[in-house]
Amino acid sequence: MDFELTEEQRILQKSARNFLTKECPKSLVRELDQSPDGHSRELWGKMAGLGWQGLILPEEFGGSQWTFLDLTILFEEMGKGLCPGPYFSTVLLGALPVLQAGTEQQKTELLPLIAAGKTILTMALTEPEGGLAPSGIQTRAEVQGGDFVLNGTKLFVPDAHLADKILTVARTGEGGPEGEGLTVFLVDSGLDGLSVVPLKTIARDRQCEVTFENVRVPASAILGGENQGWPVIARTLEYASIGRAAEMVGQAEAAMEMALAYTKERTQFGQPIGVFQAMQHYMADMWLGVHGARNLVYKTAWKASQGWPVGQEAAMAKAKAGLVCRKATTVSHRIFGAIGFTMEHDLHLYHRRVLCGDMAFGSSEVQLEKVAQGLGL
């Protein structure tokens, strides 16, 4: 078993790290934190120039046709660099479902624009009545004159204020235990009756409330077949869990590197605090946990790249990453002491992102429930 990255993957990893260090300094991250949309179109264009938006798209659609494992490596570096913007929602919540379930016309129209950085997508799933389970979907799509009319409210839709199209999950039939009666629609964000309201979050990650009031979409907007939307959503949630876990690993590693440097620089009783056993155990425990989470994330991403089922593995990777990365950033705060809790310190940027990353697509506790179910409990 070879767990080493290939030469191409190392080049991708190094080039992404160098690019984000140069083009996405913490000053830009803080500036975009305070900006209305949290998005730099200049940075987005440069990412498109590197081929990031089309990294896993086929060459026929303007992509590079790399694997999901390669994308996971990029997500880890983006987490480490706190890269802002709608990359996750566009590529993972938008491009992947279109690639896997779209018609040839949908692929031909959308994927080249995504690869070129000219179109932003996101997915609207969660509703006030429930979490990620299909039973919580109450937004309805009724047939009227050959079209579908959508009514309902979605919460925590990432980057909806920037999106050109929103993959919207609506109920078109009677529900069942396996998600029957759900359909995914490709909805243009500028349609009459669609409104977007930004929500305030601890990470300032630009999640939105999206309301549909008699929003009319054609039947050609259906993605994956009428009443056949849940398999598309379930697969997307698995991949999103892996991607978010990779981001958290990168964020936790950055926090640990900051804490490690501090233990070598900060002196107490005439010597660096890193010589004390308590600090050594803090650091060793963090490194063990985060590196273990990375191995699990990479293994799951590799299996996904092979086209294998990854439901249980994705739940384990997301649970592990959420638990150990939350602990790593929290302990890093303890090591820094009071200075680490100030808004001027970079550590809180990582800690807030990890907290929100753990909640996204099912928290660690939710993922542990899935693992337990897989054990037959």
Q: Compute the distance between CA of residue 284 and CA of residue 287 in angstroms, rounded to an integer.
A: 5
Is residue 362 domain-shared with residue 262, that is, in the same domain?
yes
The answer, yes or no, to whether residue 3 has pLDDT greater than 90, is no
87 domain-assigned:
yes
For the chain, the domain total comes to: 3
Is residue 52 domain-shared with residue 171, that is, in the same domain?
no
Which of 119, 147, 166 marks a domain boundary? 119
Q: What is the pLDDT of residue 2?
A: 77
The answer, yes or no, to whether residue 123 has pLDDT greater than 80, is yes
Mean pLDDT of the 203-232 span: 95
Please write the tens of the pLDDT for every residue from 293-337: 999 999 999 999 999 999 999 999 999 999 999 999 999 999 999
Is residue 236 domain-shared with residue 353, that is, in the same domain?
yes
Name which of 1-5, 33-37, 351-355 the model is least confident about. Answer: 1-5
Q: What is the pLDDT of residue 341?
A: 82
**Domain harbouring 351, CATH code:** 1.20.140.10
Q: Which residue has the higher pLDDT, 159 or 174?
A: 159
The contacts of residue 271 (CB under 8 Å, 6+ apart) are none
Q: Which residue has the higher pLDDT, 364 or 343?
A: 364
Is residue 189 domain-shared with residue 272, that is, in the same domain?
no
30 domain-assigned:
yes
Is residue 204 domain-shared with residue 279, that is, in the same domain?
no
Name which of 127-141, 225-239, 262-276 the model is least confident about. Answer: 127-141
CA dihedral 76, 204, 23, 354 (to 10 degrees): -20
- pLDDT-derived band at 135, boundaries 50, 70, 90: confident
- pLDDT-derived band at 340, boundaries 50, 70, 90: confident
- pLDDT-derived band at 275, boundaries 50, 70, 90: very high
**Domain harbouring 163, CATH code:** 2.40.110.10
* Proportion of the chain above pLDDT 70, given as a percent: 99
Is residue 308 domain-shared with residue 295, that is, in the same domain?
yes
Which of 100, 119, 138 marks a domain boundary? 119
Mean pLDDT of the 264-276 span: 94
Q: What is the pLDDT of residue 176?
A: 65
2 domain-assigned:
no
Q: What is the pLDDT of residue 203?
A: 83
1 domain-assigned:
no
* Cβ–Cβ < 8 Å for 299, 242: no
Is residue 325 domain-shared with residue 346, that is, in the same domain?
yes
Please write the tens of the pLDDT for every residue from 248-263: 999 999 999 999 999 9
Is residue 126 domain-shared with residue 67, that is, in the same domain?
no
Is residue 332 domain-shared with residue 238, that is, in the same domain?
yes
* Average confidence score pLDDT of the chain: 95
Mean pLDDT of the 135-157 span: 94
Q: What is the pLDDT of residue 204?
A: 83
The contacts of residue 316 (CB under 8 Å, 6+ apart) are 296, 300, 367, 371
Is residue 359 domain-shared with residue 274, that is, in the same domain?
yes
Please write the tens of the pLDDT for every residue from 95-113: 999 999 999 999 999 999 9
Mean pLDDT of the 81-100 span: 97
Is residue 241 domain-shared with residue 345, that is, in the same domain?
yes
Domain that includes residue 65, residue range: 7-119
The answer, yes or no, to whether residue 375 has pLDDT greater than 80, is yes
Q: What is the pLDDT of residue 41?
A: 96
Which of 169, 195, 228 marks a domain boundary? 228
Q: What is the pLDDT of residue 1?
A: 64
* Cβ–Cβ < 8 Å for 162, 120: yes
208 domain-assigned:
yes
* Proportion of the chain above pLDDT 90, given as a percent: 89
Is residue 235 domain-shared with residue 349, that is, in the same domain?
yes
